[in-house]
Amino acid sequence: MTELSADSPVSTPTFLGSTPQRVPAARLGVAVVHDLVAAIVTGEVAPGQSLPPEGVLSQQFGVSRTVIRESVKRVEEKGLVNIAQGRGTEVLPAGSWNVLDPVVLSALVENDDSVGVLDELAVVRGSLEGSMAAEAASVRTDDEVAALKASLEYMHETKDDKRFEQADVDFHVVIMEASKNRLAQNITKILYMRARESTRFVGATTDEAVQLTLDEHARILRAIERGDAPAAENAMREHIRVAWQRRRLPTHLKP
């Protein structure tokens, strides 16, 4: 196990020790956790390495050892490190991380220069929302179909203004609620909310893209209305896939 020391060339701070210059004292604990998580997910401190000792972190962040101790404990709860008495705090492999934790997921998205995380997110969303669309088609009620139609109509009404994005989200929420799959709904909302924090995910909207989005939503609605679960699932999966591809710029053009 390699310990990252203050003098080691691999420990040049990028996130470590950056907190005091940009946050008020009352929020230092939250900010220290954010920076420790960011240092890990970006590889500044790699799996198998140890975080700097408590005293070093205290000096780098300009906070008390108590704040550092509590912050590292929070990072351990997120699955990023293992605190071993007398052996330091070792960074764990990515497979151990709780990537649905808001801080971890936000850090992954914030530092997703290759948009690989957003690519993975689109695949997971497609799978979850496709499954929920199929379930919604199988159990939909007349009221739920009416709500979905009203949601699509509102998308048409708002296609030329800033309300369109939320109208789009609301359409998906109607389907998720109709599916009665609370776990899939919760996971999808977490993923989507964190993804929207990235300008790379939101992208630019064109009139052509809006019309394509409306057409794709209409196909999903028709499949659900007629109770065609396979068609509803395929339509939702395809919509999420192509919608992401429309927004996804080549990596070298990313802001």
Delineate the domains of the chain, giving CATH numbers in brackets.
2-95 (1.10.10.10), 112-253 (1.20.120.530)
The pLDDT of 164-179, averaged and rounded, is: 96
Q: Specify the pLDDT at position 65.
A: 93
Structure tokens at 102: 């808001």
**pLDDT-derived band of residue 18, with 50, 70 and 90 as boundaries?**
low
Q: Is the pLDDT of residue 169 over 70?
A: yes
Q: Write out pLDDT tens, residues 52-69.
A: 999 999 999 999 999 999
The pLDDT of 151-162, averaged and rounded, is: 95
**pTM (two decimals):** 0.81
The pLDDT of 213-223, averaged and rounded, is: 98
C-alpha angle 57-58-61 in degrees, rounded to nearest 5: 80
The pLDDT of 175-184, averaged and rounded, is: 97
What b/e sequence results for 159-191 when a residue is b if at least 16 CB atoms lie within 10 Å of its CB, and e otherwise? beeeebeebbebbbebbbebbebeebbeebeeb
Q: What percent of the chain has pLDDT over 70?
A: 87
Q: Specify the pLDDT at position 203.
A: 67
CA dihedral sign, ordered 137, 139, 141, 147: negative
Q: Write out pLDDT tens, residues 92-120.
A: 999 999 999 999 999 999 888 888 899 99
Q: Specify the pLDDT at position 96.
A: 96
Q: Is the pLDDT of residue 168 over 50?
A: yes
Q: What percent of the chain has pLDDT over 90?
A: 73
Mean confidence (pLDDT) of the chain: 88
Q: Specify the pLDDT at position 2.
A: 44
Which residue is listed with tokens 């929207």? Answer: 196
Which residue is listed with tokens 């990596």? Answer: 251
Q: Is the pLDDT of residue 77 over 70?
A: yes
Q: Specify the pLDDT at position 237.
A: 98
Distance of CA 186 to the CA centre of its chain: 12
Q: Specify the pLDDT at position 177.
A: 97
The pLDDT of 37-51, averaged and rounded, is: 95
Q: Specify the pLDDT at position 197.
A: 80
The residue length of the chain stands at 255
The pLDDT of 188-195, averaged and rounded, is: 90
Q: Specify the pLDDT at position 128.
A: 98
